[in-house]
Chains A and B, each alone.
Chain A
Amino acid sequence: MLDNTPKKDLKYVGKDVERIDVVEKLTGQALYTADLEFAGMLHGKVLRSPHAKARIKKIDVSKAKKLVGVHAVLTGNDLDYRVGLYLVDKYILARDTIRHFGEAVAAVAAETPAIAQQALDLIEIEYEVLTPFLDPKQVFDKKAPLVHPDLGSYSYVEAVFTPVPGTNIANHTKLRKGNVEKGFKEADYVIEREYTNPNVQHVPMETHIAVGKWDTGDRITIHTSAQSPFTVRNLFAHSFKIPHCNIRVITPYLGGGFGGKAGIHLEPLCCCLSKLSGGRPVRIQATREEEFSLLPCRSGLIYNIKTGVKKNGKIVAQKMTMYWDAGAYADYAVNVTRASGFSASGPYEIENAWVDAYTVYTNKPFGTAYRGFGHVEFSWGMERHMNYVADTLGIDPLEFRKINALRPGSKTMTGEEVVTNTGSVTKCMDAVAKSINYGKLTAAELAREKKTGMKIGKSVVALQKAPAMPPFTGTVMILKLNEDGSVTGSHSLTDYGMGTYTSLAQMIADVLRWPIERIRLPIENDTDRDPYDWQTVASKGLLLSGNAAILAAKDLLDKCYDVAAQALRAQKCDLDHDAEKVFVRHHPKSHVTYKQMAVGYAYPNGNAICGPIIGIGRYIAQGLTNLDKETGQGNPALDWTFGAHGLIVEVCEKTGAFNIIKVASAYDIGQVINEGSVRGQAIGGMIQGLGTAMCEGYIYNDKGQLLNPSFTDNKIPTSLDIPEEIDCIAIETPQIDGPFGARGVGEHSMIAVCGALGNAIEKATGAVLTHMPIRQENVWKALQSRSGKKATAKATKPAKAVKAEKPAKSVKAEKPAKATKPAGRAKK
């Protein structure tokens, strides 16, 4: 731990502290990008493709250009620039080929949004519609049309990713641990099933927006709703070959992001339109509809899991094949594939593990980072599968999880050893099991069943996630001492809702022993003003920036001690400090206040020493490695946050309607920094997870056109959808290198809750669900096929039908695997 302040001396850390950015948000005074006005600002609009795959035969913009009030019109022909995070595969505007429904084909900038729209309507365009590639499972079909025939010529991060030119595979992540074939031979049962997830939209309430200004001399200024200003700057600089120092990216208040705003999106287009308009600022604000297809979504996933297990419940081998439906561009999806590939088993020890994870290009809107970074999607399959295996063995699913849970001494899938301070997933499971009275129905619940005629079921699931980030991810915090003895911080982690800034301020306040009111961390970020941070993603912010904040506060104090030692003619070792001053411990009256030294200390006669005081804290992840490309072995994890959900559902067996009665969630977060924020992250993410579980998801027609790009047809949870009761529990096994022992929890609450819902519904009624989302009609359908059909389960005994390694083979999604009698009544 980087700070050893005794717990009793902590005034802020671990307490419930109000957010430092709440007043401006409550009064409407916080300025988001859409609230900013710029002199001469033009409005940009984008023409989108109505086809999933097409060739642009002809595009005529002459009429649009002539329209009064139009300043710039661009098509792909004008912009020979590619952008890409890990694999540089995307033109700013489509050139010749359309690769997904909603792809940007042309853009205009005009004096008003209405004129811009009129100009778009004047663009004449002729498409040759082509057959799209839509099913990622067909990736090994040699006749499949290629989404990127030029894949072999793209540049990419070679140390980490493996694209396969001549196919639709943007990346193939492999993991090989132990001897999986031997493990299957030792198994008493081999159990296999497939689970699927559709594309899902992030739905930040603030849609993507950027204002770009490209001045003469290639000086660029961008105001944007991006999560990671330095990533925007970096990718912009690479695409346009402009020096980083010429590009200034400013992020005002951010209205949510959830990963959808992590990369670079509208910014290059705004800037190109600005350049063509003679440097006038150009603003593009995505409509809600555009959020669904012009901007990225979450990749779909088809997940096949084959588990070899002993009668006693110990998993001895597991083969996991992931087909990530990445859409038309690689964006973050290649890294989602990598990160979920190395934790695809969930928080369980798998001695012999084999993962093939494919990022598959398809002609669909492209996938990017989304809260959980692949873990929400695979945990749906894995947590359903854990119940399936347990049921087959006749072991209680919670017991089965505990038998296989990672514990001190176990090795993760990448071969990293778990130690006590990694945290405890078992404690999390126990806590939520207790909270929901797992394993039985209480008298009240039985009475409720009687009254409603519905069936009640319960489930406990477990989860884990480590930040997905380069092994060398670093950050800086700068604290500038002000004239009055307050400090203003400068750093580039962004806060798009999580409350991390408040947590950082709490830590700084406790190290300095100052009231939190004297610490200001401006919410807006500016790459010209603030020092580097890689990105604000991955739940790494609290740990890395927290350590940087502690170091900065200590550095600030150290510099204050230097001044005091000189001014008081004392040794630093004899000094101490409080909220106002640094003083000599054995002569407390002998002191210098922060005010006196803030901008340089002056003696009574006017002589001065030192200068303005600044504290700097730099921190970088330590001991992490790239993973071996062949075996997936290495140290990828800054920290593992473990967690568990317990869920109670009631289901109507006639209609398939269901209500979630209770969700209890527990996370081993090392040390609570802010109780209110932890609870906010826990509940917010859990409900977002339930959205994925219950109602969200893209629906396409067979031509690859998106049918539901709106809130009318793609519902997100409202206040009426939340569980009747919510319980949030923090377990605190300190993270040795975490700030005050803390680790991140931003994404974790969203993980695995989908599986909990599926399991609880099955427990209540016997309805078997393998596809998300679980809409009422899906439950109804599953209820219909419940009885009669005997399991087509691939539970063989002893294990022999080991499937071919070639994932080419299309494994049939299994229908009701196991028609158990309506469960739910398990009295223990």
Chain B
Amino acid sequence: MKITLTVNGKKYQRDASETKNLLHFLREDLGLTGTKEGCGAGECGACTVIMNGKTVNSCLILAVEADGTDIKTIEGEAKNGKLSKLQVAFKKNHAVQCGFCTPGMIMSTRALLEANPKPTVEQIKQAIEGNFCRCTGYQQIIEAVQDASGQLKKKEGLKRA
């Protein structure tokens, strides 16, 4: 089936097989491999993208269902070769280790900040609850989002006895 959709502000038209999910469509048909697959079953959030302003697990959506939608992926986060404020905050606060959850994590927190520019810690935790991160233990990701929203009082640090 022929579908038309906008990804990161660019229009694409492709033939999409009825059985292909949006995650594989983005990765294989559009070459946007930034979005990751962690489970393929809607449980880990690695494949999170923003569709018409809302986060979705792209592994649970068929490509044909995305016909006519407006999608944002990790590739659209940095503009003109410059990291976004959110990305800079992740960088500064050590919110990235292996990086495999990072694209999905950025998408979830991007959507959060758009809806709620000053989220509480509890709201940040809620927003990323569906995004598994096995490396960081989440704390530095939460701090990064606080930082990006101008709410991190002092940079949390390691105490040296």
Q: A residues bordering B, Cβ < 8 Å? A: 16, 18-19, 21-32, 34-35, 114, 202-207, 253-256, 258, 287-288, 427, 431, 496-499, 666, 672, 675-680, 682-688, 710-712, 716-720, 722, 726-732
Residue B157 CB within 8 A of the other chain: yes
Contact present for A288 and B96 (CB under 8 Å): no
CA of A256 to CA of B135, assembled, Å = 7
Contact present for A732 and B160 (CB under 8 Å): yes
Which residue on chain A has the smallest CB distance to residue B39?
A: A288
Residue B41 CB within 8 A of the other chain: yes
Complex interface: chain A residues within 8 A of B158 (CB): 672, 675-676, 678-679, 682, 728-730
Contact present for B139 and A726 (CB under 8 Å): yes
B16 to chain A, nearest CB (A): 14
CA of A21 to CA of B136, assembled, Å = 15
Which residues from 88 to 109 on chain B have a C-beta closer than 8 Å to any C-beta of chain A?
90-94, 96-103, 106
Complex interface: chain B residues within 8 A of A679 (CB): 94, 140, 156-158
B142 to chain A, nearest CB (A): 7
Q: Which of B91, B100, B138, B157 contacts A206 (CB 8 A)?
A: B100
Contact present for A28 and B73 (CB under 8 Å): yes
Given the interface contacts A29-B34, A730-B160, does A710 sit within 8 Å of B46 by beta carbon? no
Q: Which of A255, A712, A716, A720 contacts B100 (CB 8 A)?
A: A255
Contact present for B135 and A684 (CB under 8 Å): yes
Contact present for B96 and A722 (CB under 8 Å): no
Given the interface contacts A25-B102, A683-B137, A731-B161, does A207 sit within 8 Å of B94 by beta carbon? no
The 4 closest A-B pairs by CB, nearest first: A28-B34, A25-B99, A255-B100, A497-B98
Contact present for A26 and B87 (CB under 8 Å): yes
CA of A684 to CA of B98, assembled, Å = 11
A742 to chain B, nearest CB (A): 13
Complex interface: chain B residues within 8 A of A207 (CB): 38
Q: Which of A18, A710, A727 contacts B91 (CB 8 A)?
A: A18
Q: Which of A203, A258, A685, A720 contacts B125 (CB 8 A)?
A: A720
CA of A205 to CA of B157, assembled, Å = 26
Which residue on chain B has the smallest CB distance to residue A255?
A: B100
Contact present for B137 and A255 (CB under 8 Å): no
Binds A, one of B50-58, B61-69, B74-82, B146-154: B74-82
Contact present for A727 and B159 (CB under 8 Å): yes
Q: Which of A23, A202, A205, A677 contacts B98 (CB 8 A)?
A: A205
Complex interface: chain B residues within 8 A of A206 (CB): 36, 38, 98, 100
Residue B111 CB within 8 A of the other chain: no
Q: Which of A31, A676, A726 contacts B33 (CB 8 A)?
A: A31
Complex interface: chain B residues within 8 A of A718 (CB): 128-130, 132, 138
A284 to chain B, nearest CB (A): 14
CA of A253 to CA of B139, assembled, Å = 23
Contact present for B137 and A684 (CB under 8 Å): yes
Given the interface contacts A29-B34, A711-B41, does A431 sit within 8 Å of B138 by beta carbon? no
Contact present for A256 and B33 (CB under 8 Å): no
Contact present for B34 and A730 (CB under 8 Å): no
Contact present for B83 and A729 (CB under 8 Å): no
Residue B35 CB within 8 A of the other chain: yes
B2 to chain A, nearest CB (A): 20
Q: A31-B33, A203-B134, A206-B100 are in contact. List 19 more A-B contacts (CB 8 A).
A: A23-B83, A26-B106, A27-B74, A27-B75, A28-B103, A30-B99, A34-B36, A205-B101, A206-B98, A253-B99, A258-B134, A288-B44, A675-B160, A679-B157, A680-B135, A687-B139, A710-B43, A711-B39, A722-B137
Which residue on chain A has the smallest CB distance to residue B136?
A: A684
A684 to chain B, nearest CB (A): 4
CA of A406 to CA of B58, assembled, Å = 52
Most buried by B among A253, A683, A717, A731: A683
CA of A206 to CA of B98, assembled, Å = 9
Contact present for A720 and B83 (CB under 8 Å): no
CA of A710 to CA of B132, assembled, Å = 13
Given the interface contacts A26-B83, A26-B87, A730-B159, does A205 sit within 8 Å of B139 by beta carbon? no
Contact present for B142 and A719 (CB under 8 Å): yes
CA of A496 to CA of B32, assembled, Å = 22
A338 to chain B, nearest CB (A): 27
CA of A20 to CA of B158, assembled, Å = 20
Q: Which of B36, B94, B132 contacts A32 (CB 8 A)?
A: B36
